[in-house]
Amino acid sequence: MSNATYPETTPATSTGQPQAATSIGDGTPATLTRADTLSPLEKTQVLLEAMPWLHAYRGSIIVVKYGGNAMINDQLRQAFAQDIRFLYEVGLRPVVVHGGGPQINQMLERLDLQAPFVDGYRVTTPEVMEVVRMVLTGKVQRELVGLLNVQDSVAVGISGEDAGLFQAEKRASAPGKDLGLVGDIVAVNPEPVLNMLSRGHIPVISSVAPDASDPKTVLNVNADAAAAALAGALPAQKLVILTDVEGLYQDFADKDSLIQRISASALEQLVPGLSSGMIPKVRACLDAVKAGVEKATIIDGRVAHSMLLEIVTDAGNGTEVVPDHLLEPGERHLVHRASANLA
């Protein structure tokens, strides 16, 4: 496997339907499906294909990690909110855990604060932590809750600090690689989220958490890891992670190596060759399925409605990770999308 870097500027892939291109914040094309170009028959076929999947997931908890460039383009933000509301209206129980990397970067630049990344994690000084907390809970969360509540008030925003939802410990750093106030979640109390779901709400959760040994100290928690920990604790049937690439490649230089489906054991073997930016997302998927989540999927958040494509279509979207025990007898541990499309 190639130790390739997954650049954030990789062009979005086609979903196979007529699309209109727009641009996200860094100039990367965003792919927007034009529903008005579909014929009535094609629209009917889409609904019929979705029906068994909606039936299978009805009443299920779906944890969605919202992040990347999908957060900074108005059309993609609107599409994401529409997807969450659609899933909610047809009987699924979505839970959103969000990061805010692009917005944090913008605010740090405005304040002339440096926060480099080490092994995929942002070095977080006390000054940077103030910015992280402010941006996540005061800006990103409020904007997303507002989008979800356009029709009626169903979304509720909380953070990992609230109601004892998360507890974290400061991440141990290698010599010369002090990450500062970066934490790993060590405990999850799912009751606040379950209570909101039982009342018909959509929880929107910011990925910060109090230090278990010093609750007055707040730690910056990786949103992928937070989503995985919560998915396992609820438990959720599915974890979906939005990112800025089409999915996981066995070899990023080979576009035919995009993985459609992979077992947890096969994915563990690929981890050493992954780029640092992809490792937290892959680890989140592995942690989720090990905790009892049936499926975890990495999808391209630059494609509008990619979440619906993943959940309610036969082909799905991105790369799906499944626990080994759910594989059918004789089923391969790794399936590429290119070979699956030819089958």
Residue type at 311?
Answer: I
Q: What's the pTM?
A: 0.86
- Structural contact between residues 93 and 190, judged by C-beta atoms closer than 8 angstroms: no
Tens of pLDDT along 19-59? 333 444 444 445 544 445 667 777 677 778 888 888 888 99
Note the CATH architecture for domain 20-124+136-159+201-206+225-342.
Answer: 3-Layer(aba) Sandwich (3.40)
Tens of pLDDT along 127-146? 999 999 999 999 999 999 99
Tens of pLDDT along 197-253? 999 999 999 999 999 999 999 999 999 999 999 999 999 999 999 999 899 998 887
